Structures are given as structure tokens and as C-alpha cells.
């Protein structure tokens, strides 16, 4: 085996381990739950991921480590970070702090939902948007937040370059109330032209459930598998 192939293989193994560690972390924090949950698209999902429950300093710090590790392993290049309101604000800030701790200090900015007409004014807070911008969010359901972020970034004269998220649900998006044969992540990649990386994907969640079937997760594994068969998309 050549050194380059070996390195790539080892990196894939590390990334797989990172995804499994993240899924376990999300379960331990109560962020990832199993049961029956209604999604924005009206589907009854057998699992629910709520990044808002990374709700203390230790959890948010560990989450930022996962984001940074996945991002640095991806090889995606960027000049600054943008955190779209609201969930993207603490996620982007935490990632910026963690990257600085690792020796990569990059500017960070975020937007307000409503522009201020006093003080510094405007809808943007933080560093000026310029260069290649990385958007940070939790999950991508319809790509709406990304499209809004692209508009904000382009209006400032910068380039929306990539997106990093915590979980890729790998399921069909909806348009006008109808299922389509691509996910929100695939839309952002193929139609909007942005690179996307995720700490973990639904396939990683499936692997976690399979590996923990003996610990009482066999039924959850079956339900998630059936859900994926109905609403899942091919990777890519």
C-alpha cells in the first residue's frame, strides 16, 4: 500500500470514529433522541436532533471540538466564519474560539433577524464579511437558512464558499409540500455550488444503532431503517 493510499485510509477510519463519538455524545446529552417526532415537513420521524440542548459550557465546548476536527479533516479552505441567526450564532462563535485554540484564528460575524437603526446599526455584527465565507449551522432541513446566508454574504461583496453542519439527515427535501429526489445538502452542493461537510450523517447514526442493538436499540434501529427506506436519498 502506498503512503498516500494508507494516509487516506487512515483518515477515513478516523473520520468514521469521529462520527461515532459524536453520535454517542449527542445521545448522552439528550440532543439525539429516539421515539416519534413530527418534522417541519410533516413526517413522523423515529429520531430527533435538537442542537439547542447543547446547553452548557462543557457541551458547547465539546461540540466545537467536533466541528473543528471535521472541518480541518475535510480540507475545506475558508477565510472567515458566518453564523446565521439564531442557532448559527453560538455555533459559529464556539467554532471560532476552538479554531483559535488550535492555532487557526479567523474572523467571525453573525446577523440579526432585524436590523438596528441606532448604535453601529445594520443587521451584521462582528468582522466585515470578505473572502471565502464558511457558514455554520446545526442541521439542514430545506436549505432556507443557507440561501438567506448566501444573499447576506453576497450583498457584502464576499463569497459564500462552504457550509459545516452537525448532522446530515440524508433525506428527501420538500418543495411546495412535495417530496423531491434530493436532500437539502445535495441541493446546496449541486445547485448552489457550496461545499458541505457534516460531523455525522444518518448512515453514521444507523451504524451506531446497529452496533448498540443489544443494548436495547434494536427497535429504534428498525424504525430508523424503515424511515430511511421511505425518505432517504443516495449519498453524494
Where in the sequence numbering do the catalytic residues fall?
A: 116, 118
Task: Give Cβ neighbours of residue 150 (< 8 Å, ≥ 6 apart).
Answer: 160, 192, 194
The closest of 139, 133, 57 to 97, measured between CA atoms, is 57
What are the CA-CA distances from residue 114 to residues 27, 85, 138, 174, 212 (Å)? 34, 10, 21, 27, 45
Residues in the chain: 236
Q: Within its chain, how far is the Cα of 231 from the centroid?
A: 19
Rounded Cα distance between 182 and 171, Å, is: 7
Rounded Cα distance between 131 and 160, Å, is: 8
Residue 17: count other Cβ atoms within 10 Å of its Cβ.
Answer: 10
Amino acid at each position: 500500500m502506498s503512503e498516500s493510499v494508507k494516509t487516506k485510509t487512515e483518515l477515513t477510519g478516523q473520520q468514521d470514529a469521529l462520527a461515532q463519538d459524536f453520535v454517542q455524545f449527542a445521545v448522552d446529552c439528550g440532543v439525539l433522541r429516539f421515539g416519534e417526532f413530527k418534522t417541519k415537513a410533516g413526517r413522523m420521524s423515529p429520531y430527533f436532533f435538537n442542537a439547542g440542548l447543547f446547553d452548557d459550557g462543557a457541551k458547547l465546548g465539546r461540540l466545537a471540538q467536533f466541528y473543528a476536527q471535521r472541518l480541518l479533516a475535510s480540507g475545506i479552505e475558508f477565510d472567515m466564519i458566518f453564523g446565521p441567526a439564531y442557532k448559527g450564532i453560538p455555533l459559529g462563535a464556539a467554532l471560532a474560539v476552538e479554531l483559535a485554540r488550535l492555532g487557526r484564528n479567523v474572523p467571525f460575524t453573525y446577523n440579526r433577524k432585524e436590523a438596528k437603526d441606532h448604535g453601529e446599526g445594520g443587521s451584521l455584527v462582528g468582522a466585515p464579511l470578505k473572502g471565502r465565507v464558511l457558514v455554520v449551522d446545526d442541521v439542514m432541513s430545506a436549505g432556507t437558512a443557507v440561501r438567506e446566508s448566501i444573499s447576506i454574504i453576497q450583498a457584502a461583496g464576499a463569497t459564500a464558499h462552504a457550509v459545516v453542519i452537525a448532522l446530515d439527515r440524508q433525506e428527501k427535501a420538500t418543495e411546495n409540500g412535495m417530496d423531491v429526489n434530493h436532500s437539502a445538502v445535495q441541493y446546496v452542493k449541486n445547485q448552489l455550488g457550496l461545499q458541505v461537510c457534516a460531523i455525522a450523517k444518518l448512515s453514521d447514526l444507523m451504524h451506531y444503532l446497529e452496533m448498540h442493538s443489544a443494548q436495547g436499540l434494536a427497535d429504534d434501529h428498525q424504525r430508523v431503517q424503515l424511515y430511511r427506506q421511505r425518505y432517504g436519498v443516495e449519498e453524494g
